[in-house]
Each structure stands twice: as C-alpha cells, then as structure tokens.
Amino acid sequence: MQRRLIIFNLSNIPIKTYVYIVLALLALGGASFLFAELAEGVLEEEKFMIDRHGAAFIDSIETLWLNEWMAWITELGSVTWLVIASIFVCIFIWFAYDRKRWRLFYFAVAMIGISVLTKLLKVTFERKRPDLLEEFDGTGFSFPSGHSTGPMVFYGFLVYIVAKSQLKKWLKWTLCGLLSFLILLIGMSRVYLSVHYVTDVLAGFALGLTWLVICILILEYTLWRKKK
C-alpha cells in the first residue's frame, strides 16, 4: 500500500520539474568541471591564453568614462554592499513567505558558505593579482575572484526568487535577464580594473554557480518534504 502511494505521488510530479532537475544537474556538473580545470592550471602555474587576450582587449577599449562606470559597477559586488543587500533580502523573505525559516536558512548558508569557500581557496592557491589596487578591493590573493563568487550566489538567489514568484512571465524574464547581466558585468569590471585575470572571474562564476545550485536543490527538496 505504501509503495503504491509513493509511486502515485511521483507520477503526479510535473514533467517540467524533471526538466529543471536535469538542467540543474547539468549546470552543476559543467560548473564543477570548469572550476576543476582552471584550478588545475593555476596549481601548475599555467599561462592561460584567455588571460592574455582579455588583457589586450581591455587595453583596446579603455576610456575615462568606462573607468568611472566600471568602478561603480564593481561596488555592486563588494562585501559591504552584499552584506547590506543580504539583510534587505532576509527582511523580504521574512514578510513574503509562509515557510520563511527554510528559505532564510539556506540563503544564509549560501552567502556565508560562499564567503568561507572563497577565502579558503584563495589561501590554498595563493595566486598573485595582475595589480594590487586597494581602491577597488584589489588586495590579497586572486583565485578565485570573490567579486564573481559572491554576486553569482547573491544575485543568482534573487533570480531564483523571481523565477518562483507570481510575477507575469515577461517581467520574470526581464528581471532575471537584468540580474544575470549584472553578474557578468561585475565579473567583467574586475578584469577591466586589472585586479583579476579572466580565469579568476571564470573560476569564481563556476564555483559560485556550483554552490548556488547545491543550496537551491537542497532547499527545494526540503520544501517538498515539508509540503508532503
């Protein structure tokens, strides 16, 4: 009887749920593989071609107004801003959801966890930066980029919240697109300001996406169990 009930419940799960799970697992696997490949190259002190091309491209587009704009963009990935913004997200979750404690818990785990992971990996790899610029938080070790891991998790979690909301579909796509573009811009700003290599940013995106997907999958599973 219990076995039949389980089969019946599983059969009622929408097809799109399985699609989301498959896409999440593909993202998880792809991001993990990318980070592992870049990390191996950094450990072997490999010179990446993409870093050279990235630096040359930045030199070709550098302008005064772009310098000011990128300096502003990069602040949206700073520790100070992400801490303040995370407090507002926690307040929003508290008032917007019924089962708020699990969402709050996993959001906190996602943000605190990625901060700890980034710091540990920086100390592990000890990769020197292209330039040390305190003005743009360009101090300490370079790999992976904290301005890529943090924004990927924070703004990525916002993408998840928007995607799960009751907003109209066109508004969801618009907001998710803008947030995703902002993540890319923040990462690009680090290369433009010469405080990170392209591979630092790519590794940061990969690590952040891996951690974000893990946290969201566990959150969704927890909410599903509680609902059942």
Query: Mind giving me the DSSP string for 98-167?
Result: SSHHHHHHHHHHHHHHHHHHHHHHHHHH-PPPS--BGGGTB-S--SS-HHHHHHHHHHHHHHHHHHHSSS
Within 8 A by CB and 6+ apart from 204, the residues are 118, 144, 145, 146, 147, 148, 149, 152, 187
Residues in the chain: 228
Judge whether residue 98 has pLDDT over 70.
Answer: no
Q: Is the pLDDT of residue 159 over 70?
A: yes
59 pLDDT band, cuts 50/70/90, is confident
Token pair 């360009």 in the structure block, residue:
138
Confidence of residue 142 (pLDDT cuts 50, 70, 90): confident
Q: How far apart are CA 60 and CA 130, in angstroms?
A: 17
CA neighbor of 122 nearest in space, from 50, 178, 42, 52 = 42
Does position 99 have pLDDT exceeding 70, yes or no?
A: no
Return all residues near 70 (Cβ < 8 A) that are at least 6 apart.
188, 189, 192, 193
Scan for tokens 């703004």, then name that residue.
Answer: 155
Which residues are known catalytic residues?
147, 196
**Are 180 and 144 in contact, with CB atoms under 8 Å apart?**
no
Predicted confidence (pLDDT) per residue in 109-138, tens digit: 999 999 999 999 999 998 888 876 555 566
Please say if the pLDDT value at position 9 is more than 60. Answer: no
| Mean pLDDT value of segment 42-71 | 88
pLDDT, tens digit, 9 for 90 and up, residues 162-201: 998 888 999 999 999 999 999 999 999 999 988 889 999 9
What pLDDT shows up at residue 3? 47
Enumerate the domain spans of the chain.
14-227
